[in-house]
Chain A
């Protein structure tokens, strides 16, 4: 069959799965007084529709910020205003946004920037579209992540195709939709800067740099136009976007601080300021190696790896992280599905698993189980993940050099067994969270186990992806650097 029909079938299948998930209950359905994210979106529509722009981010008599106050950048607010004109079709809006922004970017990426036969590209499209985490959060829990992630993906695709100015435009838009996109910002910056360096800062490189800088500034200015008149407004918006007061972490999240908190109660020992500086330093240290490497070698392959490493480092070490933020590293990992199938599938599955407590709270157990199984099965089958896990294909060579005393064994096989074990453990933990009642002294036992277990995965994979990125020689020409046909 022709490519277009296969791709359309994949896209239709992805959309069907999305809509089928939305038929289940959504966040906070019937749980007064705060309800959930669905209510938040509805409330923002109310606020943006009824109040003048300058009151959106302020606590006034008409706008109680404690009840789902707007805490996303201006583009989200404009989007809510747009949706408010057609209230009642909320899930339709998510589907439309997906269809217009995220899905075309996925298709373009798979067809122009990934390697292999056409059939393989179609398989990549299907697997990326079936990633359960994004489907469950957007359509089950109800959020608009596909817009910000889709715009960021557009940025990657357009940069990959060589249009640097448009790429930075797309990324700035995504940053103005959700501030969490900052997790991706450093690789974008380093990639573009690295490219300017490569072209020579004295000549064409400088021109490119100026062009990009102007684009970024103008886009920012346009997005923030209604708030620019008054510095107070800007400060208030920034204050809403980065609520430092909410502490190092909330609930149970699979990052370093929450996991460390089990052993040492950092949240009570250190003051908020110390926590802030501490997390900032560790985050910067964690992203430094990959950023420097990218700066020296701005290729698409390095860029993708740097996106993973930077966003994952942010997720693991930065301040005030939500469990849903794991979607940010998950996006670039999706882009690696074709190159490193097994680690990517492993990561994506772990990321879905790490949000289990949230899904259970929202009553999304059945869709969680079904979409996870479907994703695991299809991605392993279609991308033949187990056939592509020799030591060489997984790029495990550097491990040998690092650990000379390691006994001789096939690292590919070991990885496979670790994968089986971890999937079984995830299934077991999922089952226990649903079926068993936690002991009275430890009511949060299962959510904590889930987040610590996922944290170990994330940490291990952060190391792995960093090693893959750093170990790549600076000079040699690799297949992956070539823009695929």
Chain B
């Protein structure tokens, strides 16, 4: 019966692309001048090409050990049989991404051999010939095409109000600039070296597929198709890099609630009778088939425990060498302050305190001296508690935008409370949040706080003197643009004086940490202080943004209830 219904729908449905075009042109005849959106996208390639040129010119800039990590993976996947991929340990940078990423490296290695065969030899540790550098850098730049396409799709799904005729003031232009020219992505991918661009591209594409549902609400079948596409993309993403597990809860709840249940009660709560098993099976089969494709061969070879032990190394400490600006950074700081205070006041015995080098540079356990130590299970509980608010989309789904907000809360919650979080993980919250920022005034304010502090906290990634000006210039470029464009979009100031003062404080921190402190005598005795100050100062801003985001979600929930009464 159900099958018949679907069949019938597919006969009468129009291809989605045609509908979209049709809608746009109808819209255009209404107000031709106000929407350069449908007829002229020539600015988009300009924006994308511009940033690609910038990426190309950074080819010879500093790159971190991640460069060698990926070279090693190219070598492993190219020269060893599949069964050895997760056992190989010649280099200390063993393969610790899920299998699909290994296959991605495998396919890259076939192009790589035309550049320099030597980079594909496992024993050639820290091999950086010019051809290797050129190839690896270009591979990041070229795979960023996925990201560029995803940004374009996101821009098409942005809600816009009839506003200024100026192209520069349009939400989709601003969104495209904020995403394509994102400072964090630029320095992490194209200077530090990682492949986040195309991974975030897949994430944004999946988000865009969910958002675009709104356009075709009337057509049942199209809605279905887009949701499944979104789910498929996200499953692929999970099998490329498992760090995206952090935001999987948001996907799970959203798809279960808004996709598997086809109807709501009049008060917005779930109508249990509308549960569609077909949809659940469709979702399940997507997840399982992608999982089988990726992990299947390793399960067949009986290597699953080995693969999982590589993917989830719990031997690492609570914090990374440089503390990510989250709750644990504040916790460590309080602990340190208390112990110093205790020793000063002669309440504590120095000899009894555990010897711990703070941010010494090695990944190791940090022992707390006063406060109780934190175990992985506690961080897990804290993370889960922090993202409980997501359940609000179960009670009252607010469409794809509610989902997007939950996704950001999820990403930020796990960043705040997670175990061994990297500072780079902040991008997982910043990039999807950009979409919300161009749609509402309040979100724009939170976005400015979060991006500016989050991006500043990435500064220690680039510590070489030659790269100092480039990171400062790029940061200024992005921050200036995001402030002026969002201010123009919402016609007015978005931050209160206290927030502005805090953000200006970042300038002082930067001057103190990178100009004044290196000249002082403490540079040799206490070299970690600048990192500590940066991390603690930024964690204040990130925590504040997290709380505000949380409040905005709760408040929405509250107003909905109020309306209901």
Contacts and interface: CB of A to CB of B under 8 A. Distances in A.
Interface of A: 1-2, 5-6, 8-9, 12-13, 15-17, 19-25, 91-92, 95, 366-367, 370-371, 373-374, 377-378, 381
B53 A19 contact: no
Contacts, number: 74
Contacts of A370: 53, 56-57
Contact of B54 (A9, A15, A16): A16
Given A16-B477, A17-B54, A17-B57, A377 B470 contact: no
Contacts of A8: 480
Given A2-B488, A15-B473, A366-B134, 9 more contacts: A6-B168, A12-B480, A15-B469, A19-B469, A21-B57, A23-B61, A366-B59, A374-B53, A381-B46
A381 B168 CA distance: 16
Query: When A and B form their complex, which 10 residue pairs have the shortest distance between CB atoms, in order from nearest?
Result: A5-B484, A374-B53, A12-B477, A20-B57, A370-B56, A16-B473, A370-B57, A23-B61, A24-B60, A19-B469
A75 to B, nearest CB: 25
Nearest to B134: A366
B474 A16 contact: yes
A18 to B, nearest CB: 9
Contacts of B61: 20, 23
Contacts of B484: 1-2, 5
A366 B57 contact: yes
B467 to A, nearest CB: 8
A219 B564 CA distance: 81
B273 to A, nearest CB: 52
Nearest to B166: A1
Contacts of B54: 16-17, 20
Given A20-B58, A24-B60, A366-B56, A5 B473 contact: no
Nearest to B46: A381
Contacts of A367: 57
Contacts of A15: 469, 473
B470 A9 contact: no
12 contacts: A9-B481, A16-B54, A20-B57, A20-B58, A22-B466, A23-B58, A23-B62, A366-B134, A370-B53, A371-B57, A377-B46, A377-B53
Nearest to A4: B484
B480 A20 contact: no
Interface string B450-489: 0000000000000000110110011011001100110010
A1 B169 contact: yes
Majority SS of interface residues in chain A? Answer: helix
B225 interface: no
Nearest to A5: B484
A416 B58 CA distance: 33
A15 B476 CA distance: 11
Contacts of A13: 477
Contacts of B57: 17, 20-21, 366-367, 370-371, 374
A373 B53 CA distance: 8
A379 to B, nearest CB: 12
A23 B60 contact: yes
B464 to A, nearest CB: 10
A1 B485 contact: yes
B293 interface: no
Nearest to A367: B57
B163 interface: no
Interface in B471-513: 473-474, 476-477, 480-481, 484-485, 488
A436 B488 CA distance: 53
Given A8-B480, A12-B480, A20 B470 contact: yes
Given A370-B53, A378-B50, A9 B469 contact: no
A95 B480 contact: no
Contacts of B488: 1-2
B219 interface: no
B49 interface: yes
A377 B477 CA distance: 21
Interface string B112-128: 00000000000000000
Contacts of B62: 23
A20 B470 CA distance: 7
A196 B153 CA distance: 62
A61 B169 CA distance: 66
A5 B480 CA distance: 7
A370 B466 CA distance: 20
Given A366-B60, A371-B57, A19 B477 contact: no
A229 B92 CA distance: 69
B168 A1 contact: yes
